A and B are shown apart, each in its own frame.
Chain A
Amino acid sequence: DQQVKQNSPSLSVQEGRISILNCDYTNSMFDYFLWYKKYPAEGPTFLISISSIKDKNEDGRFTVFLNKSAKHLSLHIVPSQPGDSAVYFCAASVGEGGGADGLTFGKGTHLIIQP
């Protein structure tokens, strides 16, 4: 059973607009969440993270929102740029400091930025 779910396999957004990627989780023990970006034939690249004690974290064009009661998080990218086209993975863990079970990933959302 998938503990981290990304229900949209793909998302197409016009350049300059906002991209919103969604993620749901089922394990209430998760307390640290991360977003990764992945290009083909490369490893995932860390984008932004959020601890469960917060509901928002911002870094440049990237903002992650966490709704603990709904077990939902989202990644907002504003403005979207062509270089943002990639697969985005949501990941979760128990503990920020280095849990022994590693990260649990969703299946990813392929974001396509159209000119």
Chain B
Amino acid sequence: DTGVSQDPRHKITKRGQNVTFRCDPISEHNRLYWYRQTLGQGPEFLTYFQNEAQLEKSRLLSDRFSAERPKGSFSTLEIQRTEQGDSAMYLCASSLGGSFGPGTRLTVT
């Protein structure tokens, strides 16, 4: 068990560009969550997968955001046409609680 991993750890992009993040959950966990954390706030729920099915999406997840989990293994989170307000730490969690990845820090300039 190597824990939850996320890639990249840091991403700097210019406004308007597309970015994609990857999460590799703990292998036996069939639930996967994405969260976003901005400065001074706690993590906020974005979306939830059970195996390959995306079962819930927060209203925070605008149309520019899309997440996938093909084959119920790793997951990707894509942000299209990034805005400065997208700058945040994007966290992936495997199962309801207990196992968060290290996060991807996104900075949009």
Q: Which residues in A have some Cβ–Cβ distance to B below 8 Å?
A: 4, 32, 34, 36, 41-46, 49, 89, 91, 93, 95-108
Contact = CB atoms under 8 A, between A and B. Distances in A.
B13 interface: no
User: What is the interface of chain B mostly: helix, strand, loop, or mixed?
Assistant: strand
Contacts, number: 71
Given A41-B105, A43-B4, A89-B43, A102 B91 contact: no
Given A43-B91, A98-B31, A98-B50, A103 B103 contact: no
Interface stretch (B33-41, B67-75, B77-85): B33-41
- How would you classify the secondary structure of chain A's contact residues: helix, strand, loop or mixed? loop
A107 B56 contact: no
Cβ-closest 3 pairs across A and B: A105-B42, A43-B100, A102-B45
B21 interface: no
Contacts of A97: 96
B96 A107 contact: no
Given A41-B105, A43-B4, A102 B99 contact: no
A96 B96 contact: yes
Interface residues of B, number: 27
A105 B44 CA distance: 7
Contacts of B56: 100-102
Given A41-B105, A98-B31, A107 B40 contact: yes
B44 to A, nearest CB: 7
Nearest to B3: A43
Nearest to A87: B42
A56 to B, nearest CB: 19
Nearest to A44: B100
B35 A107 contact: no
Nearest to B9: A41
Contacts of B98: 34, 46
A90 to B, nearest CB: 8
Nearest to A100: B56
Given A101-B48, A105-B44, A43 B103 contact: yes
A17 B61 CA distance: 43
A45 B99 CA distance: 7
